[in-house]
Amino acid sequence: MSPMPAPAPRYLALVGFLAVTFAAGAIGSAATFPAVKEWYPTLVKPSWTPPNWLFGPAWTTLYVLMSVAAWRVWRRADAAGARFVLQLYAAQIVLNALWSVLFFKLRQPLLGLIEILLLWALLAVMLVRFWRAERLAGLLWAPYLGWVTFATCLNAAIVWLNR
């Protein structure tokens, strides 16, 4: 394991993780907001669908937790390991934003379901890797996987109810 980076660059990296994550969130939000007003209300949804107001606070919390988890693993890794963490993180953040585009912007719940299954698998792999690297990082990552598990079930129910 390489020595820890100096404090200032180390925390600048955390800011970078947060910035990238919230940028992806902004892309997802831009794809989501118009559809939430016009299209999403027309879908048949299961009774356990959360109210719309819950998604903003939930995602904000998850974005912070996932950024901190990835940063904690990244800062402990050697150069090759850190690069791999960044590659995994980039892949999942692209899939995270892409789901909103597929489901809401393109109004394709089935494509969203297929994509979110890929996202879920990647997040599960990352949870195992993060847990092995640092338990706290794994604990910080777990709510994200839990939420995406719930979102996958909700997406599947919407596909089923609106076939």
Whether 106 is covered by a domain: the verdict is yes
pLDDT in tens, 71-125: 999 999 888 888 899 999 999 999 999 999 999 999 999 999 999 999 999 999 9
Position 46 pLDDT exceeds 70: yes
Q: Are the C-beta atoms of 162 and 44 separated by less than 8 Å? A: yes
Which pLDDT band, with edges at 50, 70 and 90, does 69 fall under? very high
Q: Is residue 125 part of a domain?
A: yes
Token pair 């800011």 in the structure block, residue = 15
Is 1 domain-assigned? Answer: no
Looking up residue 145, the CATH number of its domain turns out to be 1.20.1260.100
Residue 87 exposed, middle or buried by CB count within 10 Å (0-12, 13-18, 19+): exposed
The rounded distance, in Å, linking the Cα atoms of 17 and 154 is: 28
Residue 71's nearest CA partner among 20, 25, 127, 14 is: 14
Whole-number average pLDDT of the chain? 94
pTM for this structure?
Answer: 0.91
Domain count for the chain, please give it: 1
**Listed range (46-50, 83-87, 147-151) with the worst mean pLDDT:** 83-87
Is 95 inside a domain boundary?
yes
